[in-house]
Amino acid sequence: MIGLISATAAGAVARDRLATAWPTRVRVYDGPVGDAVRAAFAECDQLVCFLATGAVVRLVAPLLGDKASDPGVVCVDEAGRFAVSLVGGHGGGANELAREVGELLGAEPVVTTATDSAGVPGLDTLGFPVEGDVAGVSRAMLDGEPVVLEAELSWPLPALPPNVGRPAQQGGTAVVRVSDRAHVPADREVVLRPPSLVVGVGASKGAPVDEILGLVEGTLRDAGLSPKSVAELATVDAKADEPGIVGAAEHLGVPVVTYTAEELAKVEVPNPSDAPLAAVGTPSVAEAAALVRGGELLVPKRKSARADGLPAMATCAVVRRTRRGRLAVVGLGPGARDLLTPRAKEELRSASVLVGLDQYVDQIRDLLRPGTRILESGLGAEEERARTAVAEARRGQAVALIGSGDAGVYAMASPALAEASDDIDVVGVPGVTAALAAGAILGAPLGHDHVSISLSDLHTPWEVIERRVRAAAEADIVVTFYNPRSRGRDWQLPKALAILAGHREPTTPVGVVRNASRPDESSRVTTLGSLDPAIVDMMTVVTVGNTATRQIAGRMVTPRGYRWQEEAN
Ligand code: SAH
């Protein structure tokens, strides 16, 4: 919950804008400001104070405890020009909140935490638990000192600045270690704990939480492994609600993941036995559940020890997962920065490797974190880009493969995914494709059924393209042509338009949009009968209306077919 506190009328107006925008996230604290801040500090995860920073500093200073648990505090000035992340930048999420509040109120976010302001990832924001000298090592990273990266596991990490490198290349006393071993960080060392361990657990009905937890923790301790790297407890479906397992998982702060007995029975394990086969239908629960998604068995099945000498009620086994790389296929939108989605921005900022066409890389270079490896190539190198992106992800990297508009529309997503096997995670980030960017400029040409057709016959035989144009013509569907015309490819557009003209009046509106949302954007609405193909090039999309499309006040409108409107006309 975010507590909102204001003192003045202007503050209250800004406060109410947040309250309206985030009805379920915020709570307004009225009354004397001091009491309101104290109450919100005790009750909320975050505070937004429409007050001077000085006033807030005095009020919260006596309340501050630990930066891991204190709420994040953001101050917004009287004029609503700045959203200042005051305390709890990382742990309390105040930096992110300042950005969100800034976006909503049109205020400039002010973030003074060293790592954020330099675009260097804060070591406590990488999404992994971190131990050790976070402040000292972050400082060294930021100051450009050589920092040693000891990656015991190669796990996908976001880009780290170039002064963080392998020991051979980089001397230095500050160390970033990526490890799941129970290693105690030295001075000037941080240990990042990737979620690399899966603990398989079997339990008889009614096995106590303490017995399971004791077994799991003892097993990890004896094997020299860190509980902070445990990603999940894995077991068989039949034990999904076993209170001891659920309780132990809660205590460890990890989810319980379950598999069917049939799935588990297929896994080859070193220590199968008859008891689980009879009880739940698989010769192994702990080892099989830990191993079912692959990985290395670090600790084979162990049984719990019971002081009273009764038979053990729980078993466990520990597997180190095979690292999974990540491939994000990111659409950059048609060009304008504010048509790039926040999610796309986030993926770009967390990538360690960026793959894309050089002209698209230029579009977003300033958003990349220092240290991002950029693999750019020229037009036509699609195969190379697809293969490179997948190969880097398979090596465990966090890869962003970029494309303009939507990366799935006549772009890199399909060639890349055709190369990708199931050993990497893939996420897609949608982007505003050219047809939509153009549609918004033209008016509402896509108000009814529509298709996109690429006129490039580089990869598609012309007969196929022509058949599709004909089908759209016959079905009276609005058509947007991508790749409509280039210097060496000039007869396809007139041919396609002629096919449409066989089924639509010469007065049918046609919208031509060049460089949508880019600095030299231009557009015009003309008609099927009078379109001059010479004004069309490869930076253009051409949208042809259906038989109902009209020009209204200079805009292209395809009726939605509402009866109330048809009757009025
Ligand atoms: N993935 C892209 C399309 C790539 S195909 C997308 O989703 O938009 C390339 C074609 O897209 C170009 O020839 C042009 O027809 C069209 N295009 C891409 N961006 C454009 C823009 N900003 N304005 C107009 N047309 C654009």
> Both 177 and 247 in a single domain?
no
Q: Is 149 in the pocket of ligand 1 (CB under 6 A)?
A: no
Q: Enter the pTM of the model.
A: 0.72
Closest-lying ligand 1 atom to the alpha carbon of residue 335: 22
Q: Is 483 in the pocket of ligand 1 (CB under 6 A)?
A: yes
Q: Is 518 in the pocket of ligand 1 (CB under 6 A)?
A: yes
Q: Is 408 in the pocket of ligand 1 (CB under 6 A)?
A: no
Q: Note whether residue 87 is domain-resident.
A: yes
- In angstroms, what is the span from residue 437 Cα to ligand 1's centroid? 9
What pLDDT is attached to residue 235?
Answer: 97
- Sequence letter at residue 147: V
Residue nearest to atom 25 of ligand 1 (CA): 540
Residue nearest to atom 13 of ligand 1 (CA): 483
Helix (H, G, I), strand (E, B) or coil at 171: coil
- In angstroms, what is the span from residue 245 Cα to ligand 1's centroid? 53
- In angstroms, what is the span from residue 90 Cα to ligand 1's centroid? 39
Give tens-digit pLDDT for 135-159: 889 888 888 888 998 888 878 777 7
Q: Note whether residue 568 is domain-resident.
A: no
- The count of residues in the chain is 569
Q: Is 433 in the pocket of ligand 1 (CB under 6 A)?
A: yes
* Residue 169 banded pLDDT, cuts 50, 70, 90: low
* Structural domain ending residue among the three candidates 112, 139, 160: 112
> Both 380 and 288 in a single domain?
no
More confident residue, 66 or 114: 66
- In angstroms, what is the span from residue 541 Cα to ligand 1's centroid? 7
Within 13 Å of residue 346, how many CA atoms lie on the same side as its CB?
11
Residue 138 structural domain = 130-192
Closest-lying ligand 1 atom to the alpha carbon of residue 514: 24
Give tens-digit pLDDT for 364-415: 998 888 778 999 888 878 888 999 999 999 988 899 999 999 999 999 999 9
What does the mean pLDDT of the chain come to? 92
DSSP 28-95: EE-S-HHHHHHHHHHH-SEEEEES-HHHHHHHHGGG---TTTSPEEEEE-TTS-EEEEEE-SSTT-HH
d(CA 71, CA 69): 6
Q: Note whether residue 365 is domain-resident.
A: yes
Closest-lying ligand 1 atom to the alpha carbon of residue 431: 7
Q: Is 77 in the pocket of ligand 1 (CB under 6 A)?
A: no
Give the mean model confidence (pLDDT) for residues 474-485. Answer: 98
Handedness of CA 221, 223, 225, 229 (dihedral sign): negative
Residue 475: Cβ-neighbour burial (10 angstroms; 0-12, 13-18, 19+): exposed
Contacts of 13 (CB under 8 A, 6+ apart): none
Q: Note whether residue 119 is domain-resident.
A: no
- In angstroms, what is the span from residue 503 Cα to ligand 1's centroid? 26
CA 85 from chain center: how many Å?
23
Q: Is 439 in the pocket of ligand 1 (CB under 6 A)?
A: no
Q: Is 540 in the pocket of ligand 1 (CB under 6 A)?
A: yes
DSSP 305-337: --TT-PPP-EEEEEEEPPP-EEEEEEE-BSS-G
Give tens-digit pLDDT for 20-37: 999 999 999 999 999 999
Instruction: State yes or no: pLDDT of 567 exceeds 80.
Output: no
- In angstroms, what is the span from residue 318 Cα to ligand 1's centroid? 50
* Structural domain ending residue among the three candidates 149, 169, 192: 192
> Both 138 and 238 in a single domain?
no
What pLDDT is attached to residue 371?
Answer: 79
Q: Note whether residue 349 is domain-resident.
A: yes
> Both 418 and 392 in a single domain?
yes
> Both 305 and 206 in a single domain?
yes
Q: Note whether residue 256 is domain-resident.
A: yes
450, β-bridge pairs: 478
- In angstroms, what is the span from residue 123 Cα to ligand 1's centroid? 38
Residue nearest to atom 12 of ligand 1 (CA): 483
Q: Is 516 in the pocket of ligand 1 (CB under 6 A)?
A: yes
> Both 411 and 522 in a single domain?
no
- The domain that holds 56 is classified in CATH as 3.40.50.11220
Q: Note whether residue 338 is domain-resident.
A: yes
Share of the chain above pLDDT 70, in %: 98
Q: Which of 87-96, 166-175, 420-429, 478-487 has the lowest mean pLDDT?
A: 166-175
Instruction: State yes or no: pLDDT of 125 exceeds 80.
Output: no
- The domain that holds 402 is classified in CATH as 3.40.1010.10
Residue nearest to atom 5 of ligand 1 (CA): 410
Q: How far is CA 568 from CA 34, 59, 100, in A?
A: 60, 62, 44
Q: Which of 170-174, 222-226, 367-371 has the lowest mean pLDDT?
A: 170-174
Residue nearest to atom 9 of ligand 1 (CA): 483
> What total of structural domains would you count in the chain?
5
Which parts of 143-193 fold into alpha helices (H)? Answer: none
The residue to mutate among 332, 385, 404, 452, having the most atoms of ligand 1 within 8 angstroms of its beta carbon, is 404
**How many Cβ atoms from other residues are within 10 Å of residue 494's Cβ?**
14
Give the mean model confidence (pLDDT) for residues 81-102. Answer: 91
Helix (H, G, I), strand (E, B) or coil at 277: helix
Residue nearest to atom 17 of ligand 1 (CA): 434
* Residue 163 banded pLDDT, cuts 50, 70, 90: confident
- In angstroms, what is the span from residue 67 Cα to ligand 1's centroid? 47
> Both 439 and 535 in a single domain?
yes
More confident residue, 492 or 161: 492
- In angstroms, what is the span from residue 460 Cα to ligand 1's centroid? 17
Q: Enter the DSSP assignment of 365.
A: G
> Both 298 and 247 in a single domain?
yes
Residue nearest to atom 20 of ligand 1 (CA): 434
Q: Is 411 in the pocket of ligand 1 (CB under 6 A)?
A: yes
- In angstroms, what is the span from residue 413 Cα to ligand 1's centroid? 15
Within 13 Å of residue 105, how many CA atoms lie on the same side as its CB?
32
- In angstroms, what is the span from residue 340 Cα to ligand 1's centroid? 15
Q: Note whether residue 125 is domain-resident.
A: no
Handedness of CA 95, 100, 101, 106 (dihedral sign): positive
Closest-lying ligand 1 atom to the alpha carbon of residue 334: 22
What pLDDT is attached to residue 395?
Answer: 86
> Both 411 and 468 in a single domain?
no
> Both 427 and 441 in a single domain?
no
- In angstroms, what is the span from residue 405 Cα to ligand 1's centroid? 7
* Structural domain ending residue among the three candidates 151, 177, 192: 192
What pLDDT is attached to residue 145?
Answer: 87
Q: Is 432 in the pocket of ligand 1 (CB under 6 A)?
A: no
Closest-lying ligand 1 atom to the alpha carbon of residue 482: 15
Give tens-digit pLDDT for 186-207: 999 999 999 999 999 999 999 9
What pLDDT is attached to residue 379?
Answer: 80
Are 292 and 321 in contact by the 8 Å Cβ rule? The answer is no
Q: Which of 255, 275, 183, 265 is nearest to 224 (CA)?
A: 183
> Both 33 and 102 in a single domain?
yes
Closest-lying ligand 1 atom to the alpha carbon of residue 483: 13
What pLDDT is attached to residue 322?
Answer: 77
Q: Is 110 in the pocket of ligand 1 (CB under 6 A)?
A: no
Place of tokens 């509980």: 227
- In angstroms, what is the span from residue 540 Cα to ligand 1's centroid? 7
Give tens-digit pLDDT for 255-302: 999 999 999 999 999 999 998 888 899 999 999 999 998 899 999 999
> Both 514 and 461 in a single domain?
yes
Closest-lying ligand 1 atom to the alpha carbon of residue 513: 24
- In angstroms, what is the span from residue 414 Cα to ligand 1's centroid? 16
Instruction: State yes or no: pLDDT of 323 exceeds 90.
Output: no
What pLDDT is attached to residue 490?
Answer: 94
Q: Is 481 in the pocket of ligand 1 (CB under 6 A)?
A: no
Instruction: State yes or no: pLDDT of 526 exceeds 60.
Output: yes
